[in-house]
Structure 1
């Protein structure tokens, strides 16, 4: 009987011990401290107690109050293969791009991107020009009547000299620095003068236009006299000419590395250009005679033959830009070609202080009319430009440039083209002559600032 009672007692004690053991899990599942990044496992299910032990599994959750052990994060990151965060690489004077155009950085992962191809940046250029134009077919104006073969003054004697001008540009990069638009303005003006007096000739100082002047008369105060009487046997002949060039452009062009790239390596690139141009070329000529002295003071005995011609071109243009870059240096070659509508206007006057010369020929349909004529016409004109230069980038935001530029314009009107063979034939004079060419060429030097 005693032995029978010991067996149930031992079994009850064993079950009680098992229940107590299930209520207190061993330390092999308990972290000594919370380690971020470590993986934790739910504890095993405990056997059901004989006195209402829960049968659901329990997941272990570390207490929020536990503090991480210093150095454990780096240790665990190393175990999981994560590199240590040492910060972004840097180079002197350069920053790593983010690849976000809106922030101004365009090329992700390229340490040269910010200095080479800026995105959404402005640029401005200012520089000086010195240029000259070719001479038209010369028209002789004065001669020595004692030596008819000796021409003493022609239109080339007051031709354009090397003249200074200026150029300004402003623009903005777009399309993550692969494109840019710019506005361009430049201007050149020149005025020249040439005189010859009767002491420089053997005989009389006369004009080659004496036959063409037949039919025109001018009254200096003593009645009408043929205009050749004021130009022939004159004391002085004077020729003045002026040439004015104005250029306005709005262009969109590709590959603007000529303005900004300085990566320390060699590269070659070619881009295209498209835009619109307004080009104005005007020329004035004044051929004067004085029968009294060498000074032109507006006296009635002085006569003036003036011609003013203007060419206003507007139209589209296309072109290309080629760049060869090596470090801070860049060589660029560009060209532009356009077809333009040209409005050619001319004004012709022959006058003195007492008024205009008039047609004094009863047989002429223009008898009695003043020689004060204006007319214009339209025509198609072509303009081409070539530009070769060298750029040197002194600072990230400042580049100096210099080079040679040439423009050729076909189908323009010149002042000398408007001189008629018969000054009383107004229909011929009003039919504007516009079939000449002009070549303008010279050097430029300036600097560009990027911000």
Structure 2
């Protein structure tokens, strides 16, 4: 820059020296380059517009003041070699449009107001802002391959109860999030927790069938006996010709995540009226899916109140997934409205546990078969195994920015998990074979899907 500016400076000095020499041939003046304390006469102006120099001619007087003539400051600085003073730095690549709720614009969705931000030019740049979300969920899950449990012995083709009869209904839950924008809004971290719980029950009475109310598991129950106080009796004697059969199932989902994501800035395209942007996400997730199945029979009455004549077959299974995940976030914004699409995919280690027991108020059923290696053992089994599980999630929703710091959001979410254990998968063909029962079955899939609605507050 100094080299470039010295050319017009030297030319101006040459012209000045030539003019002065013509007026007073006997005097030779020193160079016109400005130096503090130097004595020189005013020089003619630079070419118009080059340094915003006034274009009016300057008169020359041999008796001019020894003080430098104060011309345009930029011109003087240029002659001295000082760099030009720069204004506030521009921020290339940042769009002024709102990318998503809680992003760059913290004013109303159609104004440039800033709150808790630094201002560069015409846009607001958040540096450190917190956000919190709270909302409700209503979701359902797909069901496993049905296992039939009860039938009418007068109509063997009529299956009166199966595992789907107490399948999960649409169930409510809740979700909370807490996070902070960092890097002047470019990145953010968030913690996520949501949970859904469901309990369903189905009961069949002997008055609802033509013949006797029997169990499909009668052959599998061979070899197990229960003592209700009158001596050991085979378990099938409690389930066959019963007054009622009851099936109760629970499904519990718990999700914890810690994610770092762009808000989003990996790619953006502004058409003037709308903005489309894409960002990336990475983090870790802990996901727990647990379900239980309880198949009960009562040969005395129609209520289950803990009497010794009631027997229960319970299976409890839990899947505990933990591992990394990655994903993408897409936003299409127009004014106060925003449509977002998010995806997540992870590979997890899954610890699957199962507990199986068959019991009544007087204790556990026992193996009552002298030919069995488990003869005399109680039917109270627990086991676990580890395996690799995949989990994918898709989230499609709409956001509406109501106030500067409040956004309402709603949408649809679907989550699919492969390689999990289900309660119905643990029902054996032979209840005497403890080795088979302790070999946890974990090769099923679960899809959880439904709607959500909530609000996000940014401060």
Band the TM-score falls in, shorter-chain normalisation: 0.7 to 0.9
How far did 1:263 drift?
12
* 2:264–2:277 contact (8 Å) kept in structure 1: no
**Aligned residue in 2 for 1:304:** 312
Judge conservation of contact 1:180–1:256 (CA < 8 Å) in 2.
no
Query: In the TM superposition, what are the counterparts of 1:16-415 in structure 2 within 5 Å?
Result: 94-95=112-113, 104-105=117-118, 108-109=120-121, 111-114=122-125, 118-256=126-264, 265-415=273-423
* TM-score, scaled to structure 1: 0.76
1:12 is matched with none
Per-residue deviation, residues 128-164 of structure 1 (Å, max 9, x unmatched): 0000000100000000000000000000000000000
| Deviations 1:18-46, CA, capped at 9 Å, x for gaps | xxxxxxxxxxxxxxxxxxxxxxxx9959x
Cα pair 1:177 1:256 within 8 Å, conserved = no
The gaps in structure 2 that reach 5 residues or longer are 1-60, 77-106
Change (3 A) 1:272 1:308: same
Alpha-carbon offset, residue 396 of structure 1: 1.2
Please give the secondary structure, in 1, of the residue aligned with 2:217: coil
Q: Deviation string for 1:68-117 (max 9, x for gaps)?
A: xxxxxxxx99xx9xxxxxxxxxx9964579xxxxx842x621x3324xxx
CA contact (8 A) 1:264 1:328 kept: no
The offset of 1:119, in angstroms, is 2.2
1:407 partner SS: strand
Separation in 2 of the partners of 1:265 and 1:200? 64
**C-alpha distance 371-203 of structure 1, shift in aligned 2 (>3 A):** same
* RMSD after superposition: 3.0
1:357 and 1:251 mapped to 2: Cα distance? Answer: 48
3-state SS of the aligned residue for 2:218? coil
Classify 1:307/1:96 alpha carbon distance in 2 versus 1 (closer, same or farther; 3 Å).
Answer: closer
Contact preservation (8 Å) 1:170, 1:183: yes
Q: Provide structure 1 residue ranges, at least 5 long, that are not aligned to the other structure.
A: 1-41, 46-57, 61-75, 81-90, 98-102
Query: What count of residue pairs does the alignment treat as equivalent?
Result: 366
Give, in angstroms, the shift of residue 255 of structure 1: 2.4
In the alignment, the residues of structure 2 paired with residue 43 and residue 281 of structure 1 have an alpha-carbon distance, to the nearest angstrom, of 97
In the TM superposition, what whole-angstrom CA distance separates every residue of 1:177-196 from its partner, at most 9, and x where no partner exists? 11111000000000000000
Bigger-Rg structure (1/2): 1
Residue 402 of structure 1: how far off its partner (Å) = 0.4
- In 2, Cα distance between equivalents of 1:320 and 1:218: 56
Distance 1:263 1:122 in 2: 29
Q: Aligned equivalents of 2:143 and 2:282: distance in 1?
A: 31
Q: SS in structure 1 opposite 2:351?
A: strand
2:454 is matched with which residue? 446
Distance, in Å, in 2 between the alignment partners of 1:443 and 1:279 is 19
Distance in 1 (CA, whole Å) between partners of 2:380 and 2:415 is: 33
Q: What TM-score does the superposition give when structure 2 sets the normalisation length?
A: 0.75
Matched-pair contact (CA < 8 Å) for 2:135–2:454: yes
Do the aligned partners of 1:410 and 1:438 also contact (CA within 8 Å) in 2? yes
Contact 2:264 2:330 in 1 (8 A): no
User: C-alpha distance in 1, partners of 2:258/2:272?
Assistant: 31
- State the 1:411 CA deviation: 0.2
